[in-house]
Structure 1
Amino acid sequence: MENLILASDPDREGEAIAWHIIEMLQQQDALREGLNVARVVFHEITEAAIKSSLLAPREIDVNLVHAYLARRALDYLIGFNVSPLLWRKLPGCQSAGRVQSAALALICDREMEIDEFKPQEYWSIETELNKNESGSRVNGISFPARLTTFNSERLSQFSISSHTEAKHIEQQISSEDFQVIRSKINKIRKNPPSPFITSTLQQDAANKLHFSSAYTMKLAQKLYEGVQLSDGTAAGLITYMRTDGLHISDDAVKGIRSLVIERYGQDFVSGSARKYFKKVKNAQEAHEAIRPTDISRLPSMLSGILDEDSLKLYTLIWSRTVACQMEPAIIEQIQVDIGNAVESIVFRSASSRVSFRGYQAVFEDVEAEAIKYEENEGNDRDEVFGTLNSLKSGDPLFIHEVQSNQHHTQAPPRYSEGSLIKKLEELGIGRPSTYAATIKVLQNRSYVTVKSRVLYPEFRGRMVSAFLCHHFSEVTDYSFTADMETELDNVSAGLTEWKGLLRDYWTRFSSYCDRANNVHIHQVEKMLEKKFGDFLFASLPDKSRACPSCMEGTLIFKVSRFGAGYFIGCDQHPRCKYIAKTLYGEEEEEEEVTPQNNSVEEPKLLGLNPGSSEKILLKNGPYGFYVQLGEDRKGYLPKRASVSHIKDVGSITLEDALEVLRYPVTLGNHPNDGEPVILKLARVGFAVRHRRTIASVPKNVKPNDVTLEKALELLSGKDVRRCGRPKSKPKVEEAIEAIEATGEKRLLRDQNLMRM
């Protein structure tokens, strides 16, 4: 072998892959003398593109590699230092990250805006007007108009604030005669959309095709890698899909313009080749926009070769690429003002129509049938435009109907995947290749859920965001994350030395870590209670925070000391162990438990305990029925056990109650460490526990049949889970071992500079 050609992806990560390969081969002495190593890059998998790249080999771009190493190191710094803090301060909250935490902050800040939003009432007055009087035999076309001036004052959105005002205005309008005051026609040019980059492809696919960002990227990857065509040849169908560049090669532009002339005519192609430039913050523009590798490969030619969703995405890309080299659409807008004789009351009616389709022709093309285009104009609008255009100043008009409509201001909408990506892009947070992965991580961590394509923050996510905002304000600051992307771009361009960048950042970031490490868990609880008190205590009966058990304490937000849960409990713990509400549950609970009953019922006496003659009571609490040994009294906490696993509570006998109250039972000590092995009653049945390891007892096994040997067998099986959290801080060095396994030894050496 005389040549080793490295042709990984044409981005920062692709450059690093090529660099890693060379490093690995050098370490293994696999690069013999005389072997020529070349790096080639291409943006589309076509024969012409690959041949062209082979004619222009180059060296590894060290600046791109350094930018990659710096980005990875920054991500490790945040992840390996903040994540362990989260595990200790907010159990069950698994991770934080440079881009992930900024994206989560956006979602949670929007939720806070929605929580604090107060709707405001306002009214609008609309009317239906006609050239002919009501009841006339000649039916003219009626058209809508909106009240814009009343009592010679221009109306704003909140000028009419009540139903009474609206009705008063309606009465005055009904007694007036109206005529056309003035009309105005404008022509506007609506420019074609720019070709796709990664973020706009994800947004458009979300809006028009209802695809998630991850699914869009999966389909785009398939289109980039290519398929076998009907003539037996294989080819990539689109250019590289991870890009923020808007430019298109000169040869591709020529092909697009030729296609436009051929399909739509000379009038539809732009006068000269259109060139697009990125206006979004921190754009690298290293690669072409996303386009078909061959614009003459029509979507219909791929029917039967591509699956339905892949064909839709290809059609979306093909249509947008063709449109970007077409003439603007020309839209005529007409505006007519109608008023009374003194113009103290004025209505306005407006309409528009497309006088030249321009680029919109491609979206009406039969080739675009696989996608929906929302800008098509209807015949009704043309009809109203014609009516308004026929009116002349002084023409009398007659009111057929006056209608007052109540409105309320709306809270800002929650983010969808598409709108979140758009916002991240506007702020310069993250890179095209990270958006889909970032949203996926937020979902996997249970920080965010997606319902009807809308992103809702889970309370766990809101806690993480509040904690980071309070103690690591720099991590969640939008401008910091965007400025860091700028610095990484400067490293890529050779303008910033990457080791110095890491040193500067670590100096600032380490102080945040030291301060947050000294924060007591009670301070975290108080901060979260203050921020989310309305949410946490909203479900309490009468919203009272007085403890109903001891009658002395106050209900507060608590973090479980042993599990991965949160609860509303009495501040007199351990004297009072009353829990009003559990969030996310503890230990073996697999899902959040919500209160089933807030009403107070009289306890039922089942009998007396044979050993102590204490009463055995059946009671109903917020989380279902339970049995209790002894009565409630000040300074005494009676033993309780849930009986929610018994379907017919009316059939519970004294013997049943005594049986469940005997748990938990210590079966013996574990042979490996001498720690107790316990059989306990959980909400979902029986379970055995050893330290932080829990295993469910199969439903076909009776609890009396569970011996120490049987428990050890269950604990060593596959269906075990961990509860609680580690008592000691996970070592950063343990996480770094995973990096060493990937061959990034040079990265680890360079990261030591941060601590010099």
Structure 2
Amino acid sequence: MAKNLLIVESPAKAKTIEKYLGKDHKVLASYGHVRDLLAKTGAVDPDNNFEMTYVEPDDKKKHIDAIIKEAKKADTIYLATDLDREGEAISWHVVEILKDRGLLEDKDIKRVVFSEITKKAIQEAVANPRQISDELVDAQQARRALDYLVGFNLSPLLWKKVRRGLSAGRVQSPALRLIVEREDEINAFKSREYWTIHGDLKKGGQAFEASLNQFKGKKLKKFDIGNAQKANDILKQLRQQAGSELTVTELTQKERKRKPAPPFITSTLQQEAARKLGFTARKTMQIAQQLYEGIAINGESQGLITYMRTDSLNLADDAVKEIRGVISDKYGADQIPKKPNVYKSKSKNAQEAHEAIRPVSAAFTPSDIKSALNNDQFRLYDLVWKRTLASQMIHATIGTVAADFTFGDDHNLRANGSTVLIKGFLSVYEEGLDDVKKDKENRLPKLAKGDVIKVREIIGNQHFTEPPPRYSEATLVKALEEYGIGRPSTYASIISTLLNRDYVELDKKRFIPTDVGKVVARFLEAHFDTYVDYEFTAKLEDALDAVSRGETDWKPLLKSFWEPFIERVEHKEESVSREEAQYKRELGTDPKTGKPVSVRIGKYGTFVQIGTKDDEEKPQFAGLLPGQNLDSITFEEAMELFKLPRDLGETEEGEKVSANIGRFGPYVRYGNKFVSIKDGDPYSITLDEALELIKEKKIADANKIIQQFDDGIEVLNGRYGPYVTNGKKNGKIPKDTDPKSLSHADCVEILNKAPAKKKRRRKKK
């Protein structure tokens, strides 16, 4: 019988650790959190000092039962969950469950943490346990409570004022604001023309370029040559005065050092995996988790990298010693700096006792273990291994050359070139860049002051400024980190939430806000500006980090957030109308009716509307075409939507059949009836496909009708059971009555007792 029970989060982690401990240890997985907040209003009670109501999810029952069974038999219980806030909270919840079952008497509870899953690390952790950190648990509870309070109070307000099914989150909403603001910048961008001029030069058999740097003694700025006429005037003078040859009037040679990038932390791993491997943040973390927990190598499960949720740039002394040895063996002793490279984290909350993400052993080269990994695992491990080694190598030395050609009326062409003199860390790894266009490599021939160079041609190139690029996963993660929105461990879930809620979509790996995303972001910015403010969000994150360091108490922090927040929610619920909340654009006036034309979002998507709900006549609606959106559709494009029904033909009964998009989405019309197009495009649907939909609809309608009478009274199957209707009133059929047995007189009696349908009030013009 095992005297010691050790609890981790995942079965993979349990499997790897169990082989490092003796037969006296039983290792079980909790399968993540064993308790969660009650998933309804009241789980966090601000009126009762923010008391939190936790429940044990049904899908965790068998795992909890297994832990309880083994805990009864064990003398010592080791809590070996991850070393971050979430891991600390999981351990605390396990203890609370055991406490509720009365199982802690005569039990020794020990918390153990490790940043790598190796035999040495596990045995050292077990030999040096600590207590559960109240500060880390409080910090996790505070975050969970805040996210809960925001979600369960702001989301219902969005349902009432904008559209059902929407959500808002403490960090999700500022992240959405970033994407929407970038799209607004792009839409507002006005392109500006500018020209550059360069000389196409040649020495011997080697051609190279020199850019116009100075004209008539004046250093040129980007927009100094703003149109073709000015460019042509300058080109004419330069060509005349340069002739067929130019002389090198000045030659400047320099050397600069380029330092290696630090080892990976969570955010930089996500960014670099997005740039170089095309991974999403979620995929990066999933694969990193696999590499951390253990991969079967030669029949033995082996952890390959250190813990992947970290802000620390520190590397353990033993690891640095091994890394330097591997560099010496593979690349030469001259590639190691005299002293190890040390990197300091900018994060105030980075714990230097933790480590950066590195291989557990630099001796596990990617090529040696490639056969044990799948392709994605290999590529990510290769990235971590190379970055780690490069971080401990010597700097690269870059040689730069600038050759000046001054001529005529003090004009200057300058040729710049660079070459790597000493590769250093670049022989192993080079950090990727975001949204930077690499300059065409300008290889210069060997030049000396006084050399005469042939002028092949002097050329002008027209350019136009471009709008800022949309966010990619890498640049969004970088922006979230720079603004202090969320923490690296939450970036993957933030991005997934925005995508799953259809607030944003990916096009060519760039985030584009949907119309729904724009409306939600604008509503929150207009009415909850404080809570989507970047600085406010960052300060709140800092305050939560202070809780984890034991510098701040979490309950007063929650109170200081909650009181003004709920006051704002209640005020906006009363003061903001649904029409005001639902952002719409006025496009113009319909020339036929004189009614306003607007575009807005509805339950089934974005649509154009002619008229208003207050008009005597019902407004006209038309859905947008693919590629059209709330912000960019023009009045002319909107009016064309009302001319778009596609005539497809007729049914066998002679009913005209057409297809279109309306307020409630795409549909087929037959006669005066409609059937929704669930899958497919109204602008490519065929008559046969439309007739099949109509056939299914007629069968459904036939099944809906139980009885029909000559005066229009019907007995129908409805959503909530059978009922009687005459089109004006609906009457409920008693439960013990067979609807097929009702006579006309029975139906009339039921309708006479039924309340009249409530009419929608229309304001007088």
- TM category (shorter chain) comes to 0.7 to 0.9
- How far apart are 1:290 and its partner, in Å? 0.3
Matched position secondary structure for 1:51? helix
Give the TM-score normalised by structure 2.
0.73
Matches of 1:603 and 1:403, distance apart in 2: 53
Matches of 1:483 and 1:171, distance apart in 2: 58
1:606-653 Cα deviation digits (max 9, x unpaired):
99xxxxxxx998888776998798xxxxxxxxx67579999449x99x
Q: Indicate whether 1:556 and 2:628 are aligned.
A: no
Could you tell me which residue of structure 1 aligns to residue 22 of structure 2?
none
Q: Indicate whether 1:74 and 2:140 are aligned.
A: no
Could you tell me which residue of structure 2 aligns to residue 190 of structure 1?
258
Matched position secondary structure for 2:371? coil
Let me know the Cα RMSD of the aligned residues: 3.8
Matches of 2:165 and 2:194, distance apart in 1: 43
Could you tell me which residue of structure 2 aligns to residue 17 of structure 1?
90
Matched position secondary structure for 1:289? coil
Give, as a single letter, the amino acid of the residue that structure 2 aligns with 1:496: T
Give, as a single letter, the amino acid of the residue that structure 1 aligns with 2:258: K
Corresponding residue to 2:377 among 299, 310, 314: 310
Kindly tell me: are residues 559 and 671 of structure 1, through their superposed partners in 2, closer, same or farther at Cα, counting changes over 3 Å? closer
Matches of 1:568 and 1:166, distance apart in 2: 46
- How far apart are 1:40 and its partner, in Å? 0.4
Could you tell me which residue of structure 1 aligns to residue 580 of structure 2?
523
1:307-341 Cα deviation digits (max 9, x unpaired):
11111110100000001111100000111111215
Could you tell me which residue of structure 1 aligns to residue 324 of structure 2?
257
Give, as a single letter, the amino acid of the residue that structure 1 aligns with 2:443: V
Give, as a single letter, the amino acid of the residue that structure 2 aligns with 1:187: E
1:377-432 Cα deviation digits (max 9, x unpaired):
x9x96x934x2x4221x333331012111101110000000110011111121112
Matches of 1:625 and 1:310, distance apart in 2: 46
The answer to whether the Cα contact below 8 Å between 1:556 and 1:568 also exists between their aligned partners in 2 is yes
Corresponding residue to 1:153 among 218, 222, 225: 218
Please show how residues 77-226 of structure 1 align to structure 2 within 5 Å: 77-131=149-203, 139-177=204-242, 178-226=246-294
Matches of 1:676 and 1:250, distance apart in 2: 79
Q: Indicate whether 1:582 and 2:615 are aligned.
A: no
Kindly tell me: are residues 300 and 141 of structure 1, through their superposed partners in 2, closer, same or farther at Cα, counting changes over 3 Å? same
- How far apart are 1:468 and its partner, in Å? 0.8
1:572-601 Cα deviation digits (max 9, x unpaired):
43533343433699xxxxxxxx99964859
- How far apart are 1:283 and its partner, in Å? 4.3
The answer to whether the Cα contact below 8 Å between 1:616 and 1:627 also exists between their aligned partners in 2 is no
Judge which range, 573-582 or 73-82, deviates more: 573-582
Could you tell me which residue of structure 2 aligns to residue 134 of structure 1?
none
- How far apart are 1:675 and its partner, in Å? 7.1
The answer to whether the Cα contact below 8 Å between 1:202 and 1:216 also exists between their aligned partners in 2 is yes
Residues paired across the two proteins, number: 614
Kindly tell me: are residues 513 and 142 of structure 1, through their superposed partners in 2, closer, same or farther at Cα, counting changes over 3 Å? same
Matches of 2:186 and 2:547, distance apart in 1: 39
The answer to whether the Cα contact below 8 Å between 2:607 and 2:623 also exists between their aligned partners in 1 is yes
Give, as a single letter, the amino acid of the residue that structure 2 aligns with 1:222: Q
Kindly tell me: are residues 602 and 489 of structure 1, through their superposed partners in 2, closer, same or farther at Cα, counting changes over 3 Å? closer
Could you tell me which residue of structure 1 aligns to residue 47 of structure 2?
none
Matches of 1:175 and 1:80, distance apart in 2: 74
- How far apart are 1:199 and its partner, in Å? 0.8
The answer to whether the Cα contact below 8 Å between 1:93 and 1:464 also exists between their aligned partners in 2 is no
Matched position secondary structure for 2:489? coil
Give, as a single letter, the amino acid of the residue that structure 2 aligns with 1:167: N
Judge which range, 92-101 or 434-443, deviates more: 92-101
1:207-226 Cα deviation digits (max 9, x unpaired):
11111111111111110011
Corresponding residue to 2:423 among 345, 352, 357: 357
The answer to whether the Cα contact below 8 Å between 1:565 and 1:584 also exists between their aligned partners in 2 is no
Kindly tell me: are residues 325 and 619 of structure 1, through their superposed partners in 2, closer, same or farther at Cα, counting changes over 3 Å? closer
Please show how residues 52-71 of structure 1 align to structure 2 within 5 Å: 52-71=124-143
The answer to whether the Cα contact below 8 Å between 1:180 and 1:397 also exists between their aligned partners in 2 is yes
Give, as a single letter, the amino acid of the residue that structure 2 aligns with 1:556: S
Matches of 1:445 and 1:353, distance apart in 2: 49
Please show how residues 91-490 of structure 1 align to structure 2 within 5 Å: 91-131=163-203, 139-177=204-242, 178-230=246-298, 232-280=299-347, 283=350, 287-342=354-409, 344-363=410-429, 384-385=443-444, 387=445, 389-392=446-449, 394-490=450-546
Kindly tell me: are residues 37 and 690 of structure 1, through their superposed partners in 2, closer, same or farther at Cα, counting changes over 3 Å? farther
Q: Indicate whether 1:511 and 2:583 are aligned.
A: no
Matches of 1:640 and 1:54, distance apart in 2: 72
Matched position secondary structure for 1:301? helix
Could you tell me which residue of structure 1 aligns to residue 712 of structure 2?
none
The answer to whether the Cα contact below 8 Å between 1:122 and 1:406 also exists between their aligned partners in 2 is yes
Give, as a single letter, the amino acid of the residue that structure 1 aligns with 2:188: E
Structure 2, unaligned runs of 5 or more: 1-73, 627-636, 707-714, 733-739, 742-765
Corresponding residue to 1:497 among 553, 560, 568: 553
Could you tell me which residue of structure 2 aligns to residue 28 of structure 1?
101
Q: Percent identity of the aligned residues?
A: 37
Matches of 2:731 and 2:289, distance apart in 1: 47
Corresponding residue to 1:568 among 608, 624, 629: 608
Structure 1, unaligned runs of 5 or more: 132-138, 365-370, 538-543, 586-593, 608-614, 630-638, 681-688, 692-706, 709-756
